[in-house]
Structure 1
Amino acid sequence: MKIRRFFGKDMREALSQVKAELGSDAVIMSNRKVADGIELVAAYDKEPEAKLSVSKPAQKAASTPQQQPMPSLSEIIGDDGPDSLKALLEKQHGGKNQSATKASAYKDEARPVGGNPQHANDIASHLDFSEAFIDEVESTPAADSFPSHQAASIDDSNTQSSGELAQIKEELASLRNVLQHQVADLMEAKQRRQQPVHHYLIQRLTDMGLSHSLASQLISYTPAHYNERDAWVYLLNLLANRINVTGNDILTQQGAVALVGPTGTGKTTTVAKLAARYAQKYGADSVAMITIDTYRIAAFEQLATYGKIIGCTVRKAQSSEELADLLFQLRHKRLVLIDTAGFSQRDSRLIKQIQQFENGQMQPVKKYLVAQANTQYPALQRIIEAYDGIELNGCIFTKLDECYSLGEVLSAAVEYQLPVSYVTDGQKVPEDIKVAEAKSLVSAAAKLYKKYGLNHTSSNNVIRTARAV
């Protein structure tokens, strides 16, 4: 037995050399990667007949490989399929259930013209095209196995395939959304036919400002035999029972209370209203006000003006250490109200301000969220989620006199289980502040819906087509 070595830039070229020089009877002894490509070690017993029977044009093509294209692996094994080892491997994996049929087809097609039919069997038995052999070659890094231009072409192909796959996923997601929308419409139409009163009431609750999820929950508890009016009254009472109120907790307790919330919600005015009410009940010496709003111009001067009118102490703190010192100095006061700076819920300074109350040397401070009652429901969600890291003892809804709908704030209070303490409906100090009551809030929401939400009460101005254009 004689042994020869063959070198090629890839497995395809090395196998082509073995086939061309040694014929079908060669046995692949080993393979390994080298710096320039692949090295194959082949063994043979005698000079192959295939080499002697090669025609002159074939010998000329073998002697001058630069003038004629190199025979591909598909031409060697007689396969019309893909012309790369990776594609061949994928085809082998995908066709395991029909391996016997494909093997016979390969044997029939691999018969050389004018040669022995047994050559196909020799190729299948001698040339090692097993999956383990191909996996070993394919696992070689691209920089060692392929030239740079071939590696770049493979990267471009992979990038293009990734882009096509992302586009397919996007189209499938779009189709899924369309199907979900259509199915939801069908289900809604079915429920509308089966329970027309419930569907009408859900529509009224959502028009009042409640979220669709909360409206669906309330409807699920409504008895089916109720008529429209009885069901509506039942829903309003059920909504009032879901709202948690704290009562007059700030003005009946002692300690330190901080009002937090976004800018423009009326925190300073609310602090002054609470201080004035507390001074009326326990005296001006029993209450004090502190502001840590060092960002807004004349914030301290505004609170100091209220303090002069009320007759209570007003202080300013610029850091958590100063706030802790002031709280210690004012520890003899029954109630200390802290006015904070107003930031957007997306402002990072909001978190830093909240961290001032987590000082270990500071006495416990109760925190109440101040939010406008006319805020959009998505904005209310973001505001409450911004304070998710701290414990809120309650909330105060301001500017009820500027609202056209109250369902949004009621939905936020119910869904986030946020207790409601007070509501304000004007700028007068201290008159325009009231203790929150669940039935009063629901009644106010129903009145606003009746006044502004119904079709026959809303002002729909007809615009001329020509003017609109």
Structure 2
Amino acid sequence: MKIRRFFGKDMREALSQVKAELGSDAVIMSNRKVADGIELVAAYDKEPEAKLFTPKTSPKATPKASGQKAVPSLSEIIGDDGPDSLKALLEKQHGGSAPSSSNASASQSHSANHNQPMSANARHANEIASHLDFSEAFIDDVESQHLAQDEGRATTFPDHQASSIDEAPVSQSAELAQIKEELASLRDVLQYQVADLMEAKNKRQKPVHQYLITRLTDMGLSSALASQLINYTPAHYNERDAWVYLLNLLANRINVTGNDILSAQGAVALVGPTGTGKTTTVAKLAARYAQKYGADSVAMITIDTYRIAAYEQLATYGKIIGCTVRKAQTSEELADLLFQLRHKRLVLIDTAGFSQRDSRLIKQIKQFDNGQMPKVKKYLVAQANTQYPALQRIIKAYDDIELSGCIFTKLDECYSLGEVLSAAVEYQLPVSYVTDGQKVPEDIKIAEAKSLVSAAAKLYKKYGLNHTSSNNAIKTA
């Protein structure tokens, strides 16, 4: 195969050199723009055919050395008076079979008499044009590409080339995404393996500490809080002394507010998700306050307009207690009622229960901060048997408001208390009261840190340990 490199001012001139030296069967391997014009790399798998005649001497083409025949150009093959462009050559080729107007134009450029037989040069030109691999459309297309590059415009490619160019970035991005996904998976596996190795190392070095961490997490505490507590445990303690030390340390981390609601004055609102027992807790607090200060010193307001018979339930409790009960549907009505009941020592507000993902929850909370009503203390009511991730979402849902404390309800339905204690410690949420039944007003108590930790340890001992929990065998068919 013969490979040559050609240079020209433009694509047409470079192609003319290729055709002149390698013939019409040459294959263009590459083209690029250089400083002086266009560079073409062409290949030809066999030597050019022998020339049929002696070309005329051209000032542009001179023999390289004596004794060597100069390679004739396309214009020399078809004659100096022949067409110099490929378009004119094609017109000349079809001149014999075209209408008389085409014949006339072709005969004017080649011979004055169009009736004469076709010359050998013209016949050879037709033979060359019939085997040309380069078309005028291809030349124009290549030149337009380089012209677009010169002017800074986007190069226009044929449809099949454009589709392949567009598909290349898409496939590359897909491969990169797959590689990133595989790397992330490998990182997760390595982190898990490293964590497992570190845990095994810690178990060998500090077996008592690792055993206590397992007990704390089984009791319901988060792994982060359990690790913090273990770091303060003296290394020389045995298992029993260390366990007692950890329970006392956990009790010291829990913040309690005491009997703050029943010993203070003003307005108090109980907020929280649906089904946590807010209405019953309001009735319990009102009954306790009425026992201490009298029924005329306390009033209850409900803004729960979503639940059926919410006002009727609170009104029934009000009749039993003997205190005032009102209903507000808007923030303006709530502000008016608070102004009317300003002579009461304590006003308890029962709110509607929504999911922490419900947008109506935010609208209800904003009713207390519209600037038209006095300051209202807000307490979060949460079930003590709620899962730890759910408690996190509930507390985060009330980040925009200032919570004075929390009340944990339904302790009698719990099998573990570590989750709520862990949430109260990690989010620094004070605990005010706990409820453990439906009786009004008996089943409500002031929160005490040591009592809560003791109850959590008893539940763990009763339901959490392996030798106390009932492990039923899986029945197989």
> Percent of counterpart pairs with the same letter?
77
Q: 1:452 to 1:395 in 2, by over 3 A?
A: same
Return the alpha-carbon distance in structure 2 between the equivalents of residues 377 and 368 of structure 1.
19
TM-score (norm 1): 0.74
Amino acid at match of 1:359: N
Whether 1:176 aligns to 2:176 is: no
CA apart distance, 1:5? 3.9
- Residue from 64, 82, 88 that aligns with 2:132: 64
1:361 positional shift: 1.1
Q: How big is each residue's C-alpha offset from its partner over 1:270-314, in whole Å with a ceiling of 9 and x where there is no partner?
A: 000001111111111111110000000000000000000111111
Q: Which amino acid aligns with 2:15?
A: Q
In the alignment, residue 65 of structure 1 is paired with which amino acid? D
1:140 is displaced (CA, Å) by: 4.9
1:396 and 1:421 in contact (8 A); partners too: yes
User: How far off its partner does 1:463 sit?
Assistant: 3.0
Where in structure 2 are the equivalents of 1:279-290 lying within 5 Å? Answer: 279-290=290-301
Q: Does 1:52 align with 2:71?
A: yes
Instruction: Give yes or no for contact 2:295–2:322 (8 Å, CA) kept in 1.
Output: yes
- Residue 181 to residue 328, structure 1, CA distance change in 2 (3 Å): same
Instruction: Find runs of 4+ consecutive structure 1 residues off by over 6 angstroms.
Output: 21-24, 48-51, 53-56
CA contact (8 A) 1:22 1:47 kept: no
The structure 2 residue matched to 1:17, chosen from 11, 15, 18, is 15
1:18 to 1:287, Cα distance in 2 relative to 1, 3 A: farther
Residues in 2 aligned to 1:19 and 1:165: alpha-carbon distance in whole angstroms = 45
Q: Are positions 1:151 and 2:141 aligned together? A: no
**Which letter does structure 1 place at the counterpart of 2:415?**
Y
Pairing 1:346–2:357 present: yes
Kept in 1: contact 2:20–2:72 (CA 8 A): no
Amino acid at match of 2:270: L
* Change in 2 beyond 3 A, CA 1:62/1:399: farther
Q: Aligned match of 1:277 in 271, 281, 288? A: 288
User: What's the secondary structure of 1:314's corresponding residue?
Assistant: strand
- 1:114 alignment counterpart: none
Instruction: State yes or no: 1:318 paired with 2:336.
Output: no
Q: Secondary structure at the match of 2:261?
A: helix
- The amino acid of 1:17's aligned partner reads L
Specify the SS of the correspondent of 1:251.
Answer: coil
Alignment of 1:184-195 (within 5 A): 184-195=195-206
401 and 22 in structure 1: CA distance in 2 versus 1, 3 angstrom threshold? farther
Question: Aligned partner of 2:461: which letter?
Answer: K
The answer as to 2:4 corresponding to 1:6 is no
- State the Cα deviation string for residues 58-107 of structure 1 (Å, max 9, x = none): x959972259xx99xxxxxxxxxxxxx9xxxxxxxxxxxxxxxxxxxxxx
Q: 1:27 to 1:146 in 2, by over 3 A?
A: closer
Shift of 1:3: 8.4
> d(CA) in 1 for partners of 2:435 and 2:241?
31
Structure-2 change in CA distance of 1:47 and 1:266 (3 Å): farther
1:411 is aligned to 2:416: no
Structure number with greater Rg is 2
Q: Report what 1:292 is aligned to.
A: 303
Q: 1:273 to 1:22 in 2, by over 3 A?
A: farther
Contact residue 9 and residue 37 of structure 2 kept, 8 A = no
The 5 Å alignment of 1:54-453 reads 64-65=132-133, 137=149, 140=152, 142=154, 144-453=155-464
TM-score (norm 2): 0.73
Matched to 1:244, the amino acid is N
CA contact (8 A) 2:20 2:73 kept: no
* Unmatched tracts of structure 2, length 5 or more: 1-6, 22-30, 39-58, 65-69, 78-126, 140-144
Could you tell me how far apart the structure 1 residues matched to 2:62 and 2:412 are? 102
1-structure distance, mates of 2:325, 2:16: 97
How far apart are residue 462 of structure 1 and its match?
A: 2.0
Partner AA of 1:395 in structure 2:
C
Deviation of 1:239 after TM superposition, in Å, equals: 0.4
Give unmatched runs, 5+ long, in structure 1.
Answer: 8-13, 32-44, 72-84, 86-132
Query: What CA RMSD, in Å, does the superposition of the two structures yield over aligned residues?
Result: 3.3
Aligned residues: 380
* 2:71 alignment partner AA: L
2: CA distance, partners of 1:3 / 1:138: 16
* Bigger helix fraction: 1
1:184-238, Cα deviation, whole Å (9 max, x unpaired): 1000000000000000000000000000010000001101000000100000001
SS in 2 for 1:460: coil
Contact 1:425 1:432 in 2 (8 A): yes
Aligned to 1:393, what secondary structure does the other structure show? strand
Cα distance, 1:6 vs structure 2:
3.3
Q: Tell me if structure 2 keeps the 8 A contact 1:22–1:48.
A: no
